[in-house]
Amino acid sequence: MAMAIRSLLIFLFILSLTVPTFSLHEDQVGLMDWHQKYIGKVKHAVFQTQKTGRKRVLVSTEENAIASLDLRHGEIFWRHVLGANDAIDGIDIAMTKYAITLSSGGSILRAWNLPDGQMVWESFLQGPIDSKSFLFVSTSSKVDKDNTILIFGKGSLHAVSSIHGDIVWKTDFPSESFEVQEVIQHHDGNTIYVVGFVGSSQFDVYQINAKNGELLKHDSAAVDGGFSGEVSLVSRAKLVVLDAARSTLLTISFQSGEISFQKTYISDLVEDFSGIAVILPSKLTGLFAVKTNTATAFISVSSEGKLEVVDKIKHATVISNVLSISEDQQAFALVRHGGNDIHLNVKQVHDWNSDLLKERIKLDQQRGLVHKVFINNYVRTDKSHGFRALIVMEDHSLLLLQQGEVVWSREDGLASIIGVTTSELPVEKEGVSVAKVEQNLFEWLKGHMLKVKGTLMLASAEDVAAIQGMRLKSSEKSKMIRDHNGFRKLLIVLTKSRKLFALHTGDGRIVWSLLLNSLRQTEACKNPTGINVYQWQVPHHHAMDENPSVLVVGRCRAGTDAPGIFSYVDTYTGKELKSFGLDHSVAQVMPLPLTDSTEQRLHLLIDANGQAHLYPRAPEAVAIFQREFSNIYWYSVEADKGVIKGHGLKSNCDGEVADNYCFGTREIWSIVFPSESEKIISTVTRKSNEVVHTQAKVIADQDVMYKYISKNLLFVATVSPKASGDIGSATPGESQLVVYVVDTVTGRILHRMTHHGSQGPVHAVFSENWIVYHYFNLRAHRYEMTVIEIYDQSRADNKDVLKLVLGKHNLTSPISSYSRPEVTTKSQSYYFTHSIKAITVTSTAKGITSKHLLIGTIGDQVLAMDKRFFDPRRSVNPTQSEKEEGILPLTDSLPIIPQSYVTHSHKVEGLRGIVTVPAKLESNTLVFTYGVDLFFTRLAPSRTYDSLTEDFSYALLLITIVALVVAIFVTWVLSEKKDLSDKWR
Amino acid sequence: MEKAAWLQVFALLLVISPLHAFQSDELDEEFGLEGGNLQPHERIPDPVVPTRSTPNRVKYSDSDSDSKIQITLEHAFGDSDFFPAATFSARLKTWSHGAQTLTKLRFSRNSFTEVEKQKFQKLLEDDEFYRIRLPSNVLNPPGKDFVISSVRARCLPRDGLDEHFVIHTEGVNILAVNYGSPGACPYPRQLKLPAKWSFNSHTVLKNSEQAPRTPIFAEDLPGEQGEGVDVPPPERSFWAKYWMYLIPLGLIVMNAMTQAMNMPEEQATGQSGAQPAAAIQRGSSPAVRRR
């Protein structure tokens, strides 16, 4: 046993010697990496009112995060990101110490400890059907001594004890399709009224015993007009609903035991009403708001059920939650836009005309409209009521308004990035001197003295802290000019909120942001979404006087048949250059490897009808395009049909109007997967801008293998349809994973391999001539990663030196996909412990540096693994020459070395993607990881072999040289003297 | 010791076996090379025109386990419609576990008619696509859809028209057909008319390969391995072992030597400034010690 341990230790030791890990030292954290925490667009906010937590607000977001924020600064106290399919339906505070969340369609109820966010309990609620879900926490603890929470979810009503999460009682309703709209607690606390609809025309009221859930009484009434589903509760016994046609308001009174309706036409209340109306969700007593096409009308309801318009507001308006400021006083906030400002009014529910607060706040125009408002009160120094409002903007940012000012803001749009690209920074202009950067000589000297001290280990703890601080805020890395090594760049990110941000890679600050007006809701374009952002113009020749620009492609609504939108944005200024709507849809966007004379990249767009459109629309672009016309091929994957098709271009397309920039396409090849046995789950190609340094790979015995390098390769993974669900839904016998490597020009299947008893999800990365993919092996009950390497045999006989000398080789002949490829593949599988969220590979400027795989693990971290672990030529006992080549001994599983987490102590919550960008310095690569959080770092997979490290002390080198020169002279003089004295002796 | 040896053999087998696994497992992969030697139109004297109305016929033989089927290959010139061009005949083998696979593929090509020759010539001139297709299911064609493959027509002509088919099957389904010239098709493609208008066809039927299995090591294998190679790892060279002692020793020797050299040089010091500098560069400690 001891032997085993010893040999294992020796093995690990050897491994640690052979594999360069780029572990960081503690003091290097934050030098070249940054981490930003976000939460996403706030869906709901609850202010903590108890003494200790008064400065906090609890929020739930669309990124399924729940967080406790500091009201003073907007920082996160604690945060939990629930899974991607665990959407939060409601949050509330129970017993003043627990945060309650209801998620996953009303089936999971959790309680979190408010001060620190620890989970206290969790309950699973079961029910027969999926339905709307609803969380109701009793506000007055007087009434409800048991601290029960009422939840409507999965078609039934549950009462859950908030102390330990036990289900106290559960009530199913006789009618399965009963949709609860409101739960009302009676004054005495013993009965609960549950009101809702069955279907679209029956209104039901249930009386339920609050102690045991017994159904006491059931009333129902049918309405001929039907309901639209929107409800506003105006008192304990009165509801206002809209009818199905959205033109009539129905006031329903129900508490006295019978249900009575009262109809009011909206056109009677609002004169110029036409079209449809929407009830804005609110819970004001005796008041509700109706939004029509022209204005928002506030309508009061008297106790007899009479409706009366109290005000009409023309501008876009948002209503906040209701805040009880005293026993009988209720307040709410109203936010509307007026010009460039927003107006915040806090009003009492019963008294429309008096304003408790009236403020006018100037806001950044790039934030768009106000989407949500939550208000909270506090006691001012003069004992009067003060109000603060938390507002959620169109760009998903979160702002706190107090005393007419924006106290803080959070750019939470960055939690939902959908596209990333990079842009170079401006070139350094003449006249920017070094002296400007190094403010003064004394500071500079002091800094270097400190560094020298640190190097000589003479520094005290304070000095070390000073050195660290100096390193972190070194202005060098956050300058707005291009650097020699290409470390400083702009990350241009497009978010779900249709806002474009430019982040500086040095420190992650937002350089500019732009809410794309072209992607905003208009009459023609109801529900615009962004697709991606592409590099449009990257000036090299005119880098001094032209700015690069990016292209943002969007479409009017979800679905590939919606018309597209183009927007060009200057990446230095952040201004939209131009934008226009397209007259065709966008199914595929292909940046071509061609640029025109102004260095605009040619893009080919494929629409839903299979026609190709060329951009930019200029005769010059067409002329360039025509030269490569017959060599342009692409593929399309129809995953639901199980078909992959290859396409080529035909002549101009035939429409009514001659269009020089539109081309017809034709199908060249197709692969049809049998629907009963295979389902496409993943397709991966090589990055189009990847650089490969050499095609040849010299192996151990001085032999050469030629990598099969083609840009037109596609990796496809299919699973048997039964196994396309979650892991465990299929038995090993009925699940299999088949992988293909397809040439996308000819449709040739170069490699095909079956993994029996395996299933997805498959995450794959394709680089150079290899593919690494990750899947689950059901037989071994473990995740596996497999590597496929493809080698070209047709060039294998180029090894003869004589042939090379005589020029009888085929190395310079152009490669055609139509030649029959002679390829061999090598493959090997390894076990891997983690399930993963994303996988990518480092990319460097020239492709010389060895590659590392970057794996986004389930724990939301990024793990870097040397590609050598994925070498298919690893064997149990590598020969001496193979060892020299760097082949590791074969192991059945891949080691996870804790130091190789590039995110070190950070977590990128909700990790969705990893982007690698080459720096100009060959050994370095920039890594940007995004999810709910953002993380950026710089990696050197083979260490920085081509430059001195940034903290290299030039001063120390200089001092050493000077000292040596001085020493030379001193010793020379001394030896002269000694010689002289010797001679005199 | 014997146990260890057995384990080693076992481990070796585990590693080696995946390499050989797919050769033994792939009973159903067969190569049909047909038409390469025979002129297709010699075997089929009259390409029957009427069959074109029923493009995809399937014939079954009487045998239960093995049945013969025919698959029609259709071709198109450029963007024209597809017409039958050839037939594959194959045996449909039914395995005991119910799976069906295609074996013994034979291919017979109809020769080009005059019209087709002209069309093909046109394709050659325009460097256009010659397209072929097969049904995606051989039992009830065309199945879900046809699988299409195409090639630039200029890739085909050599002496005759050389063509190469790779048909990827999965049971009775055809996933894809890869069609092209059997060798290289160098770019830019030169216009070359075939000497003979006869096809020289090669056909390969391909099934999926088994993925190599993940090597499985026994839990205690590192320990066993350690016992197996009980003797310490291969003897390192003397230098590799003792370099850390040798280098200081060398330095001391060199130091001593320079000092010894200094004795006779005492008289001649200071003649060249480079010499002391060299001594200092070698390391400041000897220089210090000297004084």
Annotate A697-757 with DSSP letters as a single string.
EE-TTS-EEEE---SSEEEEEEE-GGGGSSTTSS-GGG-EEEEEEEETTT--EEEEEEEET
Question: Between chains, do A979 and B269 touch, taking CB under 8 Å as contact?
Answer: yes
Identify which of A670, A678, A754 has the shortest CB distance to residue B145.
Answer: A670
CB A782 within 8 A of CB A739: no
Residues in chain A within 8 Å Cβ distance of B209: 752-754
> Looking at residues A229-245, what average pLDDT do you find?
81
Domain closes at, from B188, B206, B224: B206
* H or E stretch at A12: helix A2-18
Q: Within this chain, do residues B44 and B176 fall inside the same structural domain, yes or no? A: yes
**What would the pLDDT profile of A620-651 be if each residue is shown by its tens digit?**
999 999 988 888 999 999 988 899 999 999 88
**What would the pLDDT profile of B148-165 be if each residue is shown by its tens digit?**
999 988 888 888 888 899
Domain closes at, from A638, A672, A706: A672
CA–CA min distance B30, chain A (Å): 16
Q: Within this chain, do residues B37 and B91 fall inside the same structural domain, yes or no? A: yes
Give the pLDDT score at B22. 39
Q: Within this chain, do residues A64 and A144 fall inside the same structural domain, yes or no? A: yes
CB A523 within 8 A of CB A420: no
Query: A787 exposed, middle or buried (CB, 10 Å; 0-12, 13-18, 19+)?
Result: buried
Question: Between chains, do A8 and B182 touch, taking CB under 8 Å as contact?
Answer: no
Q: Within this chain, do residues A808 and A684 fall inside the same structural domain, yes or no? A: yes
Q: Is B28 on the interface with A (CB under 8 A)?
A: no
Helix, strand or coil, per DSSP, at residue A491: strand
Binding-face residues of B in 190-229 toward A, CB within 8 A: 206, 208-217, 220, 222-227
Residue A347 backbone class (left: φ over 0; alpha: ψ -120 to 50; beta: rest): beta
Tokens (6 digits) for A312: 């009409």
Count up the domains in chain A and report the number.
Answer: 7
Domain closes at, from A584, A617, A641: A584
Mutation choice for B interface testing from A776, A792, A819, A832 by most B CBs within 10 A: A819
CB A243 within 8 A of CB A237: no
Count up the domains in chain B and report the number.
Answer: 3
Question: Between chains, do A8 and B222 touch, taking CB under 8 Å as contact?
Answer: yes
Give the pLDDT score at A913. 93
Peptide bond before B188: cis, by omega within 30 degrees of 0?
A: yes
> Looking at residues A546-559, what average pLDDT do you find?
89
Residue pointed to by tokens 């030196």: A801
Instruction: Read off the pLDDT band of A471 (50, 70, 90).
Output: low
Tokens (6 digits) for A652: 């101009």
Identify which of B178, B186, B209 has the shortest CB distance to residue A748.
Answer: B178
Closest alpha carbon within chain A to B137: A674
pLDDT exceeds 60 at position B132: yes
Question: Between chains, do B276 and A972 touch, taking CB under 8 Å as contact?
Answer: yes
Q: Within this chain, do residues A534 and A643 fall inside the same structural domain, yes or no? A: no
Q: Within this chain, do residues B22 and B133 fall inside the same structural domain, yes or no? A: no
Residues in chain A within 8 Å Cβ distance of B174: 672
Give the pLDDT score at A45. 92
Identify which of A784, A819, A964 has the shortest CB distance to residue B184.
Answer: A819
Q: Within this chain, do residues B91 and B226 fall inside the same structural domain, yes or no? A: no
pLDDT exceeds 70 at position A709: yes
Residues in chain B within 8 Å Cβ distance of A813: 186
Task: Give Cβ neighbours of residue A145 (< 8 Å, ≥ 6 apart).
Answer: none
CB A33 within 8 A of CB A933: no
Residues in chain A within 8 Å Cβ distance of B149: 669, 746-747
Identify which of A674, A892, A964 has the shortest CB distance to residue B217.
Answer: A892
**What would the pLDDT profile of B35-75 be if each residue is shown by its tens digit?**
333 333 333 333 333 333 333 444 444 444 678 888 889 99
Residue A293 backbone class (left: φ over 0; alpha: ψ -120 to 50; beta: rest): alpha
For B279, the domain range is 240-290
Q: Within this chain, do residues A605 and A696 fall inside the same structural domain, yes or no? A: no
Mutation choice for A interface testing from B100, B214, B289 by most A CBs within 10 A: B214
Q: Within this chain, do residues B216 and B255 fall inside the same structural domain, yes or no? A: no
Q: Within this chain, do residues B18 and B65 fall inside the same structural domain, yes or no? A: no
Residues in chain A within 8 Å Cβ distance of B12: 876
CB A664 within 8 A of CB A632: no
Give the pLDDT score at B233. 57
Residues in chain A within 8 Å Cβ distance of B173: 672, 674, 677
Identify which of A668, A780, A794 has the shortest CB distance to residue B214.
Answer: A780
Question: Between chains, do A780 and B187 touch, taking CB under 8 Å as contact?
Answer: no
> Looking at residues A834-855, what average pLDDT do you find?
92
Chain-wide mean pLDDT for chain A? Answer: 84
Q: Within this chain, do residues B198 and B182 fall inside the same structural domain, yes or no? A: yes
Task: Sort strands B199-206 and B161-170 into parallel, antiparallel or unpaired.
Answer: parallel
DSSP state letters, A27-63:
GGTTTS-EEE----SEEEEEE--SSTTTTEEEEEETT
pLDDT exceeds 50 at position A931: yes
Higher pLDDT, B22 or A92: A92
Q: Within this chain, do residues A721 and A737 fall inside the same structural domain, yes or no? A: yes
pLDDT exceeds 50 at position A680: yes
- Domain contains A880: yes
Q: Within this chain, do residues A699 and A780 fall inside the same structural domain, yes or no? A: yes
Nearest to A673 by CA among B34, B275, B284, B208: B208
Residues in chain A within 8 Å Cβ distance of B215: 876, 890-892
Q: Within this chain, do residues A742 and A820 fall inside the same structural domain, yes or no? A: yes
Instruction: Read off the pLDDT band of A481 (50, 70, 90).
Output: confident
Question: Between chains, do B150 and A673 touch, taking CB under 8 Å as contact?
Answer: no
Q: How is the beta sheet containing A385-393 ordered, strand by strand?
A: A370-379, A385-393, A398-402, A405-410
pLDDT exceeds 70 at position A950: no
CA–CA min distance B245, chain A (Å): 22
Q: Within this chain, do residues B229 and B133 fall inside the same structural domain, yes or no? A: no
Task: Give Cβ neighbours of residue A944 (< 8 Å, ≥ 6 apart).
Answer: A921, A923, A924
Q: Within this chain, do residues A599 and A653 fall inside the same structural domain, yes or no? A: yes
Instruction: Read off the pLDDT band of A245 (50, 70, 90).
Output: confident
Tokens (6 digits) for A215: 């159904």
CB A357 within 8 A of CB A387: yes
Length of chain B as a residue count: 291
Q: Which of A294-303, A533-542, B27-36, B188-197 has maximum average pLDDT? A: A533-542
pLDDT exceeds 60 at position A432: no
CA–CA min distance B185, chain A (Å): 4
Residue A117 backbone class (left: φ over 0; alpha: ψ -120 to 50; beta: rest): left
* H or E stretch at A90: strand A88-94
Instruction: Assign residue A559 the CATH number of its domain.
Output: 2.40.128
Domain closes at, from B206, B221, B248: B206
* H or E stretch at A852: strand A852-857
A26 secondary structure, DSSP code: G
Radius of gyration of chain A (CA): 34
Question: Between chains, do B144 and A827 touch, taking CB under 8 Å as contact?
Answer: no
Task: Give Cβ neighbours of residue B2 (< 8 Å, ≥ 6 apart).
Answer: none
Give the pLDDT score at B107. 87
Higher pLDDT, B216 or A762: A762
CA–CA min distance B78, chain A (Å): 10
Identify which of A648, A671, A738 has the shortest CB distance to residue B176.
Answer: A671
Q: Within this chain, do residues A96 and A77 fall inside the same structural domain, yes or no? A: yes
The span from the CA of A94 to the CA of A353, in Å, is: 34
Helix, strand or coil, per DSSP, at residue A620: helix
- Domain contains A345: no
The span from the CA of A945 to the CA of A406, in Å, is: 48
Report the percent of chain A where pLDDT is more than 90. Answer: 33
Q: What is the ipTM of this complex?
A: 0.79
For A506, the domain range is 416-426+480-584
Q: Within this chain, do residues A125 and A135 fall inside the same structural domain, yes or no? A: yes
Identify which of B174, B212, B223 has the shortest CB distance to residue A4.
Answer: B223
pLDDT exceeds 90 at position A765: yes
Q: Within this chain, do residues B119 and B177 fall inside the same structural domain, yes or no? A: yes
Predicted TM-score (pTM) of the model is 0.82
Q: Within this chain, do residues B113 and B249 fall inside the same structural domain, yes or no? A: no
Identify which of A668, A673, A971 has the shortest CB distance to residue B129.
Answer: A668
Closest alpha carbon within chain A to B188: A814
Q: Within this chain, do residues B51 and B178 fall inside the same structural domain, yes or no? A: yes
Domain closes at, from A787, A814, A832: A832
- Domain contains A278: no
Task: Sort strands A696-698 and A736-743 into parallel, antiparallel or unpaired.
Answer: unpaired
Q: How is the beta sheet containing B66-77 ordered, strand by strand?
A: B100-109, B83-94, B66-77, B129-135, B146-152
The span from the CA of A345 to the CA of A360, in Å, is: 9
Residues in chain B within 8 Å Cβ distance of A3: 223, 226-227
CB pairs under 8 A between A and B: 183
Chain-wide mean pLDDT for chain B? Answer: 69
**What would the pLDDT profile of A866-921 be if each residue is shown by its tens digit?**
999 999 888 888 888 888 888 888 888 899 988 889 998 899 999 999 999 999 98
The span from the CA of A568 to the CA of A478, in Å, is: 26
Residues in chain A within 8 Å Cβ distance of B184: 794, 816, 819-820
pLDDT exceeds 50 at position A581: yes
Tokens (6 digits) for A175: 């009618």
Backbone angles phi, psi at B263, to 5 degrees: -55, -60
Backbone angles phi, psi at A74, to 5 degrees: 80, 15
Nearest to A237 by CA among A258, A250, A253, A259: A253
pLDDT exceeds 60 at position A497: yes
Q: Within this chain, do residues A693 and A659 fall inside the same structural domain, yes or no? A: no
The percent helix, strand, coil of chain A (3-state, each to 5) is: 15, 45, 40
Give CA separation, A912 vs A417, A858, A928, A934, A945, in Å.
9, 11, 11, 10, 31
- Domain contains A357: no
Give the pLDDT score at A502. 94
CB A890 within 8 A of CB B221: no
Give the pLDDT score at B58. 43
pLDDT exceeds 80 at position A667: yes
Number of C-alpha atoms within 13 angstroms, CB side, residue B256? 6
pLDDT exceeds 60 at position B88: yes
Q: Within this chain, do residues B153 and B256 fall inside the same structural domain, yes or no? A: no
| Helices A441-455 & A954-984 angle (0-180, nearest 10) | 70
Q: Within this chain, do residues A820 and A870 fall inside the same structural domain, yes or no? A: no
Helix, strand or coil, per DSSP, at residue A146: coil
Give the Cβ contact number of residue B30 at 10 Å. 16
